[in-house]
Chains A and B, each alone.
Chain A
Amino acid sequence: EDQVTQSPEALRLQEGESSSLNCSYTVSGLRGLFWYRQDPGKGPEFLFTLYSAGEEKEKERLKATLTKKESFLHITAPKPEDSATYLCAVCRGYGGATNKLIFGTGTLLAVQP
Chain B
Amino acid sequence: DAMVIQNPRYQVTQFGKPVTLSCSQTLNHNVMYWYQQKSSQAPKLLFHYYDKDFNNEADTPDNFQSRRPNTSFCFLDIRSPGLGDAAMYLCATSRDWRGRSSYEQYFGPGTRLTVT
Query: Which A residues contact B (CB, under 8 angstroms)?
Result: 4, 31-32, 34, 36, 41-46, 49, 87, 91, 93-94, 96-101, 103-106
Contacts and interface: CB of A to CB of B under 8 A. Distances in A.
Contacts of A46: 104-107
Contacts of A94: 48, 55
29 contacts: A31-B103, A32-B103, A41-B88, A41-B110, A43-B4, A43-B90, A43-B92, A43-B107, A46-B105, A49-B102, A93-B97, A94-B55, A96-B97, A97-B50, A97-B96, A97-B97, A98-B48, A98-B94, A98-B96, A99-B94, A99-B103, A100-B45, A101-B43, A101-B45, A103-B42, A105-B40, A105-B41, A106-B40, A106-B42
Contacts of A44: 43, 90, 107
Given A97-B98, A103-B43, A104-B42, A42 B109 contact: yes
Contacts, number: 64
B97 A99 contact: yes
Nearest to A85: B40
Given A41-B110, A44-B90, A91-B103, A98 B97 contact: yes
B74 interface: no
Contacts of A4: 42
A104 B45 CA distance: 13
Contacts of A41: 88, 110, 112
3 tightest A-B CB contacts, nearest first: A43-B107, A103-B42, A97-B96
